[in-house]
Structure 1
Amino acid sequence: MRVQCSFTTSTIILFSALIFLAFIHRAQARDRKPVNCSTSCGEVQNIKYPFRLKGNPSGCGDPDHEFSCVNGKTILEIFPGKYYVHNSSYDDQNLRLVDVNFANRSCSLPSGSVKTADGKVMDFRFRGAVIYYASHFRFVKCSKNISSLPTAANYTRVPRLATTNGSYFYAVYVPEYYYPPQCSLVAVAPVDYHPDMKFTSYKAVMKLLQAGFDIGWSVKCRDCSLAKGCAVSSWVKPLTYECYIQCKEPTELQIILIYVAIGVGALIGLLCIILILVVVIRRCRRTRNEAKRNLQNQNQQSLTTEINSS
């Protein structure tokens, strides 16, 4: 029984050690700089580390910084959007991107959101997206036409989607996050900073959107551990980034896993304690029974001796 308890504990320790070693191996693999293989796609020439094209040999570039080449155009996917890469500066660690929807004029809405509603960049690889927090359009969907409302003075109506399924779409170029009760955020599209520009028509909006925006990339931000965050520490080009400790609330799944791990550990510990107690109790009973038998044998021998002597 003791062997079984020791085997269970040893298995847990070995399994944990294997997971730890696998994590270390993965971190070391990322630390090793991949081979710098230069390639090109359309107008984007000399694509090199950390970037790579999909289909390049596995040792070329960094798999977290992969472009696609479609019909002679370089495409970068920043979940869930797709963007044409028009230029790349490795000295400044900067890319010039245009949303594929705006470039192709196939849709009046962006393919995805690089930023959240409060202007934060969602992708850990590209923390240097547009310097100014007001440099983006917020696309909102409203349940009714709000053009006449005083609070919608800065809202530019999206003509193609004006009455899609009874909804009205607007592009907003203002830093405030307030929307009328009838509206909800759809997407955020970064643009160049134009503090004094007025958008009297959606044509002017599209012109700015089709010009694209700059975004800064950083391998260092990618390499920050899960317990850290990453932010731009200096906006002087090339941008510099800094990892910082941040407190993160555990997700619901993580909390469940923690409770499961505690429960499993407690159950294993309880089983080991029970097994140890069983072994100790059995040993004590065996010792007591042997003592009783020995005492009975001694008494029997003494009685036999007395009978023989008499």
Structure 2
Amino acid sequence: MTTTRSPNISATSLTLLLLLSVAVAAAAAAAAAAATVVERKEGCSPSSCGPVQVISYPFRLKDDPIHCGDPNYEITCNSNNLPLLQISSSNYFVAHISYENATIRVVGAGFATSSGGCSGGSPALSSYPQSAYYKVVDRSVATFVNCSEKVQKDKYRPIPCLSRNRSFVYVTSGPSVGDVAPSCSFSSMVPTPYDITSRGVDVFRALQQGFSLNWTPVRMTTSKFIRGCLKEAERYYPWEERRRKSMITWVIYPFQIEKELLDCMNPNSYITDSSTPYVPSSVMYRFMVALIVSIDVAALLTVIALLGRFIFAPLSVCAFLAYDLWKLLVPVDIVEKFLQKHQTLAPTRYSYTDIVAMTGHFKEKLGQGGFGAVFKGRLPGGFQVAVKILSSSKCVDGEDFISEVSTLGTIHHLNVVRLVGFCSEGPRRALVYEFMPNGSLDKYIFPSSSGTGRRFTREKLNEIALGVARGIDYLHRGCDARILHFDIKPHNVLLDRNLNPKVSDFGLAKLYPKDYSVVSACAARGTIGYMAPELVSRTFGLVSYKSDVYSFGMLLMEMAGGRRNVDVQAEDSSRAYYPSWIYDQLEQRERAEKLEIIGGGGAGAAVRIDDVETKLSKVGLWCIQMRSSDRPSMSEVVEMLEADGDTLAMPPKPFSDASRTITLRQSCNVASSAATELSVISERSDDTISPRSE
């Protein structure tokens, strides 16, 4: 009978392999462990091999089930169909087994294949068998010695077929090797039932008869049985076959091993008879099932812990950071799209670290506005700048920031403040302007808390008014797109080192095509007291660039009077609203001058008004007409300011008493224009905005 032997794997190695492999699919392993085993119901029928017809307990063939026979008495059936038994690292062929006497007769492998005598060649000599499981029965021993000289002794029988040149081989029956001749050395000892030294005894034929051994069968222990089951389980899935299979085989292999192991240890898989040396108990089987399930669960938890620590935890952190970054970038998306679209803008984009460095960690604060604080800074070249840090609560959607950058980033004019750079990093945004050392215009046209008057001469005041008008006119006509400021007031007019005015703060500005403008209701905003009436109620007209003209007119009135337009604390109620009061004074003077020309005399106005105040007041009164269509364009305003004040015609009265009362109470009755619903409006004229054709 021909058998195939798979490589032996130790129990320790196989256990480690199980522990490492079950981590891939531990749940499936647990299911396989708990599944009902396939009942083999195998008995232990006697086996046979060559001359030995009955091989049963304690002997077993190598391919017999593990529960049949003792592994220590394992016999291999070789390719020649001869039973081979290994004892003390030497191979012996089994000639006969006597179960009644518990003896087994074996023959050394070299003698079993020899035809006998020296004519049959030189057989390989087997050593004396020494094993804890066998005991030699025969008392005689054939001792082979190798001598350098010929020995002339009766008990030394020469073996010519083994002798070579000066090496002489003899056989003797001495029980020990201590009696050998001085020129001889021990070679091997072979048990034999015959006295080799007797005459007439053929040495090789006697050795071919073999010798007898007694066995002492030992009942199989649980540990031996488990190790045997592991070997048997591995035998069903040998390494050579697994190595040639796909990766899925490597994954399934541990579970197949577990299934075969439990099948082997299942007591219901065996038929108990007298030839069965060991049958596992049901308690041990349940224990092994629990042990395997515990190992699989522990492996599963270990894998989950490792995956959670090195994969899921980093992925969770990354997901959280990505979500946090996404939330951070969502309100900035509109800003980033604008900045990417206008990469050719002149202003430089700075990082927030640059902003901190140029302001010296926000050391010197210049002021605080509605949209953030302004700090003094310095660029690396020594150029002084003003850095406005926008409040995140005021620019959630980034529209004001975009308005400022898109407006100032595309224009360059003597009377418009220059945007040096900007910063946009998440919710942190800043605008970097050229530094205006003389501050804003309101510090010079209004009396200070100490009671001192204005610091400008009347000529300088006219120059400043003309410079502001030119700046606004440039915004309306000089750029590629019409820019509506919507927040002209003294605070937004800055003065450089030479007291040249510059229009600033374009947070409310809007860009529109030159030939057309559409202002949405939610886009129109401004400052109470400078807002055009149409921004409050549609009954006063249409929202257009004329709204900036109205705001500039209110600015001119304050520059002309050197005071706020509305002074509710004025002793004379007629002076509470300066535009109304100055109009009455100018009208009285005009009437007086006409009477003087007609009648040849007459009194002048009750109050002395100089020429600059008269000129600025007339232009301002033209600008603050209640209906936008009655106001001049900014180019016409510039021409008025450049002309002689005496040539300016007296404007119509821009308000009635009722409208003056409304103006005095605007701060109480009008909420911010951002909350006021306005109409979508356009105008048509040479410098006005034409409506879109349908």
Q: TM-score w.r.t. structure 2 length? A: 0.23
Compare relative contact order (CA 8 Å, sep 6+) and give the higher one, 1 or 2. Answer: 1
